[in-house]
Amino acid sequence: MPVSDYELFQAWKSVLALCEIGPGQTVTVLTSQDSNEQTIRCAILAVREAGAVANRLDVQPTNGSLSLSRDPLAFVGTTPLTNNPAAVAMLKASDLVLDLMTLLFSAEQHDILEAGGRILLAVEPPEVLVRMVPTLADRETVLAASRKLQAARSMHVTSEAGTNVTFALGQYPMLEEYGFVDKPGRWDHWPSGFLATWSNEGSAQGKIVLAPGDILLPQKAYVQQPITFDIENGFVTSISGGFEADHLRDYMESFNDPEVYAISHIGWGLQKRAHWSVLGFYDREASIGMDSRACAGNFLWSTGPNNEAGGTRDTACHIDIPMRNCTVALDGSPVVIGGKLVEAV
State residue 90 phi and psi, 5-degree precision. -65, -40
Instruction: Report the distance separating Cα 72 and Cα 268, nearest Å.
Output: 22
Cis previous bond, 126, omega within 30: no
pLDDT at 277: 96
232's CB contacts (< 8 A; 6+ apart) are 205
Whole-number Cα distances in Å, 307 to 9, 67, 80, 320, 342: 34, 20, 18, 16, 31
294's CB contacts (< 8 A; 6+ apart) are 132, 177, 191, 192, 193, 194, 269, 270, 271, 274
SS3 state of residue 99: strand
Enumerate the CATH 3.40.50.2300 domain ranges in the chain, comma separated.
Answer: 5-131
pLDDT at 308: 81
Q: If residue 164 lies in a helix (H) or strand (E), which one and from where to where?
A: strand 164-168
- pLDDT tens for 264-303 read 999 999 999 999 999 999 888 889 999 999 999 999 999 9
DSSP state at residue 183: S
Instruction: Report the distance separating Cα 137 and Cα 209, nearest Å.
Output: 33
What percent of the chain clears pLDDT 70, i.e. is strictly above it? 94
Q: How confident is the model over 139-156, as a mean pLDDT?
A: 98
Q: If residue 38 lies in a helix (H) or strand (E), which one and from where to where?
A: helix 37-49
What is the architecture of the domain spanning 5-131?
3-Layer(aba) Sandwich (3.40)
The candidate with the shortest Cα–Cα distance to 42, out of 3, 12, 17, is: 12
Instruction: Report the distance separating Cα 158 and Cα 328, nearest Å.
Output: 7
The candidate with the shortest Cα–Cα distance to 34, out of 321, 285, 331, is: 285
- Our CA dihedral for 256, 285, 76, 311, rounded to 10 degrees, sits at -100
Average pLDDT across the chain, whole number: 93
pLDDT of residue 66 exceeding 70: no
Answer whether 109's CB lies under 8 Å from 187's CB: yes
pLDDT at 172: 96
End-to-end Cα, the chain, rounded Å: 34
- pLDDT tens for 102-116 read 887 778 888 999 999
Please state at what angle helix 37-49 crosses helix 5-18, rounded to 10 degrees.
Answer: 50
pLDDT at 82: 85
Q: How confident is the model over 204-226, as a mean pLDDT?
A: 97
The candidate with the shortest Cα–Cα distance to 222, out of 129, 325, 125, 324, is: 324
Evaluated on CA atoms 32, 34, 35, 37, the torsion sign reads: positive
> 194-198 and 175-177 as β-strands: parallel, antiparallel, unpaired?
antiparallel
Q: How confident is the model over 133-148, as a mean pLDDT?
A: 98
pLDDT at 345: 42
pLDDT of residue 17 exceeding 90: yes
When pLDDT is cut at 50, 70 and 90, the band that residue 61 belongs to is confident
Whole-number Cα distances in Å, 108 to 33, 248, 308: 19, 29, 11
- Our CA dihedral for 263, 265, 268, 271, rounded to 10 degrees, sits at -140
